[in-house]
């Protein structure tokens, strides 16, 4: 019986401390990434505004060179990305010097591992949902934190209960 109580106590301690470490890592890494995504999203929304303003003034979408000149004037909060305007969401590049479809367009940039994009026809921005990770990381860690606390409290209770 003594061995069973000791084993249970060790298991509860392992689960409790593992949960605390996991929660700490999740909160710190997730929070850092969330703030980074918020800064990138602000830059991206400014680039979208530049394209919309250019389109309303000139009646056409900017070429790659025009877009580079427009976005070069914008403040950079995180990193200067190379934005691309396309008339479709496609991995196939648009023809050089060709006129883009002015009614529907996408603005995208490559982040190093994946692309973020904005869709003109419905206003969808792939970074918008990632901004909610800041709240999600905190809420995600609450059950783990509670479970860790319960395991550590149970291990302490077993220690007091077991005969010396």
pLDDT bracket for residue 52 (50, 70, 90): very high
pLDDT at residue number 115: 86
- The reported pTM is 0.62
The C-alpha atoms of residue 150 and residue 145 are separated, in whole angstroms, by: 9
**Which of 7-16, 82-91, 120-129 is least confident?**
82-91
- Tell me the average pLDDT across 142-148: 77
Using alpha carbons, list the distances in angstroms from residue 33 to 87, 143, 159: 30, 21, 40
From the CB of residue 69, how many other CB atoms can be counted at a distance below 10 Å? 12
Residue 90 has pLDDT above 60, yes or no: no
Q: What pLDDT, on the 0 to 100 scale, is given for residue 92?
A: 45
- Beta-bridged to residue 124, according to DSSP, are 119
The secondary structure of the chain, three-state, reads CHHHHHHHHHHHHHHHHHHHHHHHHHHHHHHHHHHHHHHHHHHHHHHHHHHHHHHHHHCCCCCHHHHHHHHHCCCCCCCCCCCEEECCCCCCCCCCCCCCCCCCCEEEEECCCCEEEEECCCCEECCCHHHHHHHHHHHHHHHHHHHHHHHHHHHHHHHHHCCC
% pLDDT > 90, the chain:
10
Which pLDDT score, from 0 to 100, does residue 98 have? 54
pLDDT for residue 159: 79
Give yes or no for residue 49 having a pLDDT over 90.
yes
């Amino acid at each position: 019986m003594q061995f069973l109580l000791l084993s249970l106590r060790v298991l509860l301690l392992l689960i409790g401390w593992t949960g605390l470490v996991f929660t700490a890592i999740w909160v710190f890494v997730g929070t850092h990434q969330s703030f980074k995504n918020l800064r990138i999203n602000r830059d991206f929304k400014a680039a979208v505004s530049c394209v919309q303003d250019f389109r309303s003034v000139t009646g056409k979408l900017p070429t790659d060179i025009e877009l580079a000149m427009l976005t070069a004037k914008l403040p950079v909060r995180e990193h200067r990305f190379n934005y691309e305007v396309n008339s479709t969401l496609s991995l196939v590049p648009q023809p050089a010097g060709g006129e883009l479809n002015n009614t529907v367009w996408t603005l995208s940039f490559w982040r190093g591992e994946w692309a973020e994009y904005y869709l003109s026809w419905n206003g969808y921005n792939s970074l918008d949902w990632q901004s909610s990770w800041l709240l999600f990381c905190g809420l995600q860690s609450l059950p783990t934190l509670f479970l860790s606390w319960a395991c550590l409290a149970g291990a302490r209770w077993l220690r007091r209960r077991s005969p010396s």
